[in-house]
């Protein structure tokens, strides 16, 4: 049931974002009960020109974005929840880039997006924290992701 809600929640946004085929893996999740953090990392060229322009994102073979949605599983079905996000992405040399998240709300869906630079086939480490609205303790969200450049601009 929760997977269905996640697909519906992220589906509208992802379908609007992606033009043709996604290059990186699809969305993934990390549970820190009662919170679920759903994330995906894609090159900005996976966005249609219209969606990129509407959201102020430059499409480039050297830029990617991380999309994070926080869901509260205490509600049935689990619902998107506002949160503050901070953190950085590190390359293989451990060089950090601070991520600046902005929130996009579409209907009941809430997305937290940050854009960053990358190189082709780069293995990146994401070290993030999120603070759901109403909570007093931030939750760690750490994951690794390899990202690939698309052939189209």
For 80, counting Cβ atoms within 10 Å of its Cβ (0-12 exposed, 13-18 middle, 19+ buried), the class is buried
pLDDT tens for residues 47-94? Answer: 999 999 998 999 999 999 999 999 999 988 889 999 999 999 999 999
Strand ranges for the chain from DSSP E: 28-32, 35-43, 63-72, 79-80, 83-90, 96-98, 102-106, 109-117, 122-132, 139-147
pTM of the model: 0.79
For the chain, helix (H) and strand (E) counts, in that order, are: 2, 10
Domain ranges, ordered by start, for the chain:
2-25+38-147
In angstroms, the first-to-last Cα distance of the chain is 37
What is the CB neighbour count within 10 angstroms for residue 86?
15
- pLDDT score recorded for residue 27: 66
Q: Rounded mean pLDDT of 108-126?
A: 94
pLDDT tens for residues 41-56? Answer: 999 999 999 999 998 9
Confidence bin at 10 (pLDDT 50/70/90) = very low
Q: Which CATH superfamily is domain 2-25+38-147 in?
A: Domain of unknown function DUF4426 (2.60.40.3340)
- Structure tokens that stand for 67 in this block: 């999309």
As a whole number of angstroms, the distance between CA 57 and CA 54 comes to 8
């Amino acid at each position: 049931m929760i997977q269905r809600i996640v697909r519906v929640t992220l589906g509208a946004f992802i379908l609007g974002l992606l033009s043709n085929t996604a290059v990186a893996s699809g969305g993934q999740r990390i549970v820190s009960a009662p919170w679920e953090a759903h994330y995906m990392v894609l090159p900005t060229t996976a966005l249609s020109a219209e969606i990129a322009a509407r959201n102020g994102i430059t499409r480039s073979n050297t830029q990617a974005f991380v999309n994070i949605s926080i869901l509260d599983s205490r509600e049935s079905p689990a619902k998107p929840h506002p949160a503050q996000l901070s953190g950085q992405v590190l390359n293989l040399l451990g060089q950090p880039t601070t991520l600046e998240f902005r929130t996009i709300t579409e209907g009941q869906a809430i997305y937290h997006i940050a854009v960053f630079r990358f190189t082709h086939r780069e293995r990146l480490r994401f070290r993030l924290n999120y603070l759901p609205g109403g909570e007093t303790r931030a939750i760690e969200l750490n994951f690794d992701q390899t990202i690939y450049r698309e052939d189209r601009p």
